[in-house]
A and B are shown apart, each in its own frame.
Chain A
Amino acid sequence: MSLWKRLVGAALVAGAIAMAPPASAQTLRVVMHSDLKILDPIWTTAYIVRNHGYLVWDTLFAMDEKFEVKPQMVDKWDVSADKLTYTFTLRDGLEWHDGTPVTAEDCVASIKRWGAKDSMGQKLMGTTKELKVVDAKTFQLVLKEPYGLVLQSLGKPSSNVPFMMPKRVAETDPNTQIKPTDVIGSGPFIFKADEWKPGEKVVYVKNAKYKPRSEPPSGLAGGKVVKLDRVEWVWIADVQTQVNALISGEIDMIESPGHDLLPILAAEKSINLFNWNPTGNQFTMRFNTLHKPFDNPKIRTAALVALSQEPFLQAVVGDKQWYKVCKAMFICGTPLETTAGMDGVLNGDAAKAQQLLKEAGYDGTPIVLMQSTDLQVLTNLAPVAKVQLEKAGFKVDMQSMDWQTLVARRSKKDPPNAGGWHAFLTSWVAADILNPVMAGFLNASCDKAMFGWPCDEQLEKLRDQFSRESDPVKQKAIAEAVQKRWVEYPTHAHLGQWYQPLARRSNVDGNLVGAVPVFWNVTKK
């Protein structure tokens, strides 16, 4: 290297070092899977807002890494003998970021706002007779009839999470977004509204007054001990730039590096990959049950018979280390894992599917299959589905569009040839589909169901039974019955489990295993 080159290099590096703001070793700079545009985790179900929520707000209950619901803000709770009255008492020392104490009134208002928006919350509120404040730290939930999912609902790990907010914030209309200055929680981090630059960065600082539980952290439960002074979510839209920034040490972690970039990251000595969510995600094909031919459940079953999981996983993920063929609707590795009723489906049996189509009287109506082309993790799914369905005798009209166009179009009930649709492919985080009530695509309540609008009394009856049951053994039996009924009345097809490791620099450690990426317990040396 010439003297000139050395001098230029030294001058540039010296300039950068001299002019850079003092970088604390305790500042973690992370690129999340998306930019944070919305701040209210009750207003939207977007995962990025849920993740933001876990930094700022706390929950009454939380799910640990073994899928058990544990108290979090709640100190003690009990249920009356008739299983109709739940009494909750808050822990000592809970405080909002503005210094005021957390009260039972705040919690009641927060549950009501969440219950007006979230599907599991709506179900809980539907069976609730009364939510009442007993004293500053105690409140009661009085039910109309026994309901088995009270704690699971309040400890729901994913969107919408029942976060506790101050009463004046929680009284905001559920369909109106809270203001940035109202992002006040009692959680382990404080949101810096003045440093939030949409499209650029979000800043959280350690809540020094937070009193963690004494139990060791596990999943979303246990002691939330913060070991960083500051967390910065830096938004870098370009995936290659994300990787370059991680390699050069400008950022410390990428939450969702693309699977095609994992080999590059794995080869770097200064970086390691960590699978924080061992239950992962599930690819899914959603049917629109309103229109011919998918209005006929037998034709949807034929599609289930025609489909096979591994080609989908290969097409998107590729490396077997990061995927798992899994027929269990409620995710492999969870308490409700079961293969009941699944023998004859998802085997890619084109001949059997053809036979079923013939019996069902399929008239060759083309399936309008929407393909999302801008989300790397979804793009390759639709072409695989098209090939598998066509092999079985379906006619498929695959239409490509960006994800947001797909999102807008999937809410339309119009016939497929008039701007509607028959099917599309997406992915669920496992934490959202752990049981028949949580799993939104199993909601078969006709007009009130999610897009696709399945309508089946039996499925709804089983889901109601599940929600009333609190015995895990009986719950599992109901989940098996749901899965068996689903084979006869398919609402969607699940197409395999896949895992998304995070990439972090080797000086970062302590990420917890769980349903959501969190930042307590994380260290940076």
Chain B
Amino acid sequence: MFAFIVRRLIATIPVLLFVAVFAFMLLRMTKDDPAAIIAGDNATADQVDAIRAKLGLNEPLWSQFFIWSSRVLVGDFGESFFFKKTVAELILQRVEPTLMLSLCTIILAVLIAVPVGVLAAARQGSWVDRIVMGFSVMGFSVPVFVIGYLLIYVFAIVLGWLPVQGYRRISEGFGDFIIRLILPSITLAVIYIALISRITRASVIETLGEDYIRTARAKGLPARIVLLRHALRNAAVPIITVIGIGIALLIGGVVVTESVYNIPGIGRLTVDAVLARDFPVIQVVILMFSVVYVLVNLVIDLAYSVLDPRIRY
């Protein structure tokens, strides 16, 4: 197992190297000019030139890449072109909101989707099953921003129960923190509930047809034990895969929800950096997403062996 983890971690090095070169070259190939953006609308060509020189954008590409990558290797991610802050500082400020939103969303989604999926599988063809599948189709079909605005309208504007927008850090008080995450988490969870419940249902239905389930029933085990201990555990591998991919997608894909609810997370930072052509920030965010994807996949692989003793590395 340890050797497997080490092998997988070593295998991430060429991936990250490729991502670093690709991200760097892609940004430079766009021929965008951060200096013109920084200088502002009323700036003269001389002002733009002076800023370009100051940012080192007049250096040859290979030289820019060499400087950047050698700094990254020693943990120096550079300074944002715009904010007088380091990239590491900016990202650290934004990690908590995205992480907390993702965590709340995935907990909410799993707590609802897995039982609902199991229930739908156990009552296959019944009205419960049809309702779950109907909700699932709706969850896939309605855009996130529509759900977001609807929830805001009902619970924040009409009923006035919850705030419209914003994020408070846990350190500023747990009550204020959690109350601002309720609507965003529900909004974001809808699609994951739809996805996970569907996969859970299909996987459990497949497992319920296995011989060992018939054996379990034949030896007189209660239906609840058969369903939860025998069927669900054996159906867990695809469910865990979907949840894992969901976590990775969540961290990189919460942009719309972060915008609708004004949550200053990594998604918003990425969009702002792309729109402003803040190259140092974009490069590091892309690298960070790659690391997250690689690590989440590693954790999923390790979870397989815990859930299914037949899988060994």
Chains A and B bind each other: yes
Binding site for B on A (CB under 8 A): 8-9, 12-13, 15-16, 18-21, 35, 37-39, 43-47, 49, 117, 119, 159-160, 174-180, 197-200, 234-238, 240-241, 244-245, 247-248, 250, 374, 402, 404-405, 407-408, 410-411, 419, 426, 432, 440, 447-451
List the B side residues contacting A450 at CB < 8 Å: 42-45
> Nearest 5 CB-CB pairs, A to B?
A19-B175, A45-B40, A408-B33, A45-B42, A19-B176
Task: Report whether A16 and B175 are in contact in the complex, using a CB–CB cutoff of 8 Å.
Answer: yes
List the B side residues contacting A426 at CB < 8 Å: 41
- Contacting A at CB under 8 A, from B145-179, are 149, 152-153, 156-157, 159-167, 172-179
How far in angstroms is the closest Cβ of chain A from B104?
15
A-B contact pairs, 6 of them (CB 8 A): A12-B162, A200-B264, A236-B262, A240-B260, A245-B165, A407-B33
Q: Tell me the complex Cα distance, A448–B46, Å.
A: 8
Task: Report whether B45 and A159 are in contact in the complex, using a CB–CB cutoff of 8 Å.
Answer: no
Task: Report whether A37 and B276 are in contact in the complex, using a CB–CB cutoff of 8 Å.
Answer: yes
How far in angstroms is the closest Cβ of chain A from B52?
10
User: Please, what's the 1-or-0 string for B234-263, where 1 marks a CB less than 8 Å from any CB in chain A?
Assistant: 000000000000000000000000011110
Task: Report whether A175 and B54 are in contact in the complex, using a CB–CB cutoff of 8 Å.
Answer: yes
Task: Report whether B159 and A9 are in contact in the complex, using a CB–CB cutoff of 8 Å.
Answer: yes
User: Chain A interface: which of B68-76, B83-91, B190-198, B209-217?
Assistant: B83-91
List the B side residues contacting A405 at CB < 8 Å: 32
Q: Taking the complex as formed, is B201 at the interface, i.e. its CB lies under 8 A from any CB of chain A?
A: no
Task: Report whether A238 and B272 are in contact in the complex, using a CB–CB cutoff of 8 Å.
Answer: no
Task: Report whether B36 and A408 are in contact in the complex, using a CB–CB cutoff of 8 Å.
Answer: yes
Q: Tell me the complex Cα distance, A402–B272, Å.
A: 13
How far in angstroms is the closest Cβ of chain B from A190?
18
- Contacting A at CB under 8 A, from B244-295, are 259-262, 264, 268-269, 272, 275-277
Task: Report whether A451 and B164 are in contact in the complex, using a CB–CB cutoff of 8 Å.
Answer: no
Q: Taking the complex as formed, is B93 at the interface, i.e. its CB lies under 8 A from any CB of chain A?
A: yes
User: Please, what's the 1-or-0 string for B82-115, where 1 marks a CB less than 8 Å from any CB in chain A?
Assistant: 1111000010011000000000000000000000
Q: Taking the complex as formed, is B47 at the interface, i.e. its CB lies under 8 A from any CB of chain A?
A: yes
Q: Taking the complex as formed, is B296 at the interface, i.e. its CB lies under 8 A from any CB of chain A?
A: no
How far in angstroms is the closest Cβ of chain A from B108?
16
Task: Report whether B176 and A16 are in contact in the complex, using a CB–CB cutoff of 8 Å.
Answer: yes
Question: Given A241-B261, A408-B36, are A402 and B44 neighbors across the interface (CB < 8 Å)?
Answer: no
Q: Taking the complex as formed, is B303 at the interface, i.e. its CB lies under 8 A from any CB of chain A?
A: no
List the B side residues contacting A180 at CB < 8 Å: 84-85
Question: Given A199-B269, A408-B37, A411-B33, are A250 and B84 neighbors across the interface (CB < 8 Å)?
Answer: no
Q: Tell me the complex Cα distance, A240–B146, Å.
A: 12
Contact pick for A237, options B47, B173, B268, CB 8 Å: B268
What DSSP secondary structure best describes chain B's contact surface? helix
List the A side residues contacting B159 at CB < 8 Å: 9
Task: Report whether A407 and B165 are in contact in the complex, using a CB–CB cutoff of 8 Å.
Answer: no
User: Please, what's the 1-or-0 string for B48-77, where 1 marks a CB less than 8 Å from any CB in chain A?
Assistant: 101101100000000000000000000000
Contact pick for A21, options B31, B172, B259, B277, CB 8 Å: B172
Q: Taking the complex as formed, is B16 at the interface, i.e. its CB lies under 8 A from any CB of chain A?
A: no
Task: Report whether A119 and B44 are in contact in the complex, using a CB–CB cutoff of 8 Å.
Answer: yes
Other than A16-B163, A21-B176, give 6 A-B pairs with Cβ distance below 8 A: A180-B84, A235-B262, A237-B259, A241-B260, A241-B262, A245-B165
Binding site for A on B (CB under 8 A): 31-33, 36-48, 50-51, 53-54, 82-85, 90, 93-94, 149, 152-153, 156-157, 159-167, 172-179, 182, 259-262, 264, 268-269, 272, 275-277
Question: Given A38-B38, A39-B84, are A13 and B54 neighbors across the interface (CB < 8 Å)?
Answer: no
How far in angstroms is the closest Cβ of chain B from A52?
13
List the B side residues contacting A8 at CB < 8 Å: 161
Question: Given A21-B172, A402-B275, are A250 and B268 neighbors across the interface (CB < 8 Å)?
Answer: no
Q: Tell me the complex Cα distance, A38–B42, Å.
A: 15
Task: Report whether A19 and B179 are in contact in the complex, using a CB–CB cutoff of 8 Å.
Answer: yes
Beta-carbon nearest neighbor of B176 in chain A? A19
B32, B44, B152, B178: most-surrounded residue (chain A CB, <10 A): B44
List the A side residues contacting B94 at CB < 8 Å: 199
How far in angstroms is the closest Cβ of chain A from B35?
9
Task: Report whether A37 and B31 are in contact in the complex, using a CB–CB cutoff of 8 Å.
Answer: no
List the B side residues contacting A451 at CB < 8 Å: 45
Question: Given A175-B50, A248-B164, A411-B36, are A238 and B259 neighbors across the interface (CB < 8 Å)?
Answer: yes
List the B side residues contacting A9 at CB < 8 Å: 159, 161
Task: Report whether B276 and A404 are in contact in the complex, using a CB–CB cutoff of 8 Å.
Answer: yes
Task: Report whether A15 and B277 are in contact in the complex, using a CB–CB cutoff of 8 Å.
Answer: no
List the A side residues contacting B44 at CB < 8 Å: 119, 440, 448-450
Task: Report whether B41 and A45 are in contact in the complex, using a CB–CB cutoff of 8 Å.
Answer: yes
Task: Report whether A45 and B39 are in contact in the complex, using a CB–CB cutoff of 8 Å.
Answer: yes
Task: Report whether A411 and B262 are in contact in the complex, using a CB–CB cutoff of 8 Å.
Answer: no
Contact pick for B36, options A238, A245, A407, CB 8 Å: A407
Task: Report whether B161 and A12 are in contact in the complex, using a CB–CB cutoff of 8 Å.
Answer: yes
Beta-carbon nearest neighbor of B256 in chain A? A238
List the A side residues contacting B165 at CB < 8 Å: 236, 241, 244-245, 250
Question: Given A175-B54, A405-B32, A408-B31, are A238 and B176 neighbors across the interface (CB < 8 Å)?
Answer: no
Contact pick for A408, options B32, B51, B260, B262, CB 8 Å: B32
Question: Given A411-B36, A411-B48, are A199 and B272 neighbors across the interface (CB < 8 Å)?
Answer: yes
Task: Report whether A44 and B38 are in contact in the complex, using a CB–CB cutoff of 8 Å.
Answer: yes
List the B side residues contacting A179 at CB < 8 Å: 84
Task: Report whether A404 and B39 are in contact in the complex, using a CB–CB cutoff of 8 Å.
Answer: no
Q: Tell me the complex Cα distance, A407–B275, Å.
A: 12
Task: Report whether A176 and B54 are in contact in the complex, using a CB–CB cutoff of 8 Å.
Answer: yes
B31, B85, B178, B179: most-surrounded residue (chain A CB, <10 A): B179
Task: Report whether A404 and B37 are in contact in the complex, using a CB–CB cutoff of 8 Å.
Answer: yes
Q: Tell me the complex Cα distance, A432–B42, Å.
A: 9
List the B side residues contacting A408 at CB < 8 Å: 31-33, 36-37, 277
List the A side residues contacting B43 at CB < 8 Å: 44-45, 450
List the A side residues contacting B173 at CB < 8 Å: 19-21
Question: Given A44-B39, A198-B90, A451-B45, are A177 and B84 neighbors across the interface (CB < 8 Å)?
Answer: yes
Q: Tell me the complex Cα distance, A298–B48, Å.
A: 30
Beta-carbon nearest neighbor of B93 in chain A? A197
Q: Tell me the complex Cα distance, A44–B157, Å.
A: 39
Q: Tell me the complex Cα distance, A428–B43, Å.
A: 13
Question: Given A236-B165, A245-B262, A407-B37, are A37 and B83 neighbors across the interface (CB < 8 Å)?
Answer: yes
Task: Report whether B32 and A404 are in contact in the complex, using a CB–CB cutoff of 8 Å.
Answer: yes
Q: Tell me the complex Cα distance, A160–B54, Å.
A: 19
Beta-carbon nearest neighbor of A181 in chain B? B84
How far in angstroms is the closest Cβ of chain B from A407?
5
How far in angstroms is the closest Cβ of chain B from A364?
29
Q: Tell me the complex Cα distance, A237–B167, Å.
A: 14
A15, A241, A451: most-surrounded residue (chain B CB, <10 A): A241
Q: Tell me the complex Cα distance, A47–B41, Å.
A: 9
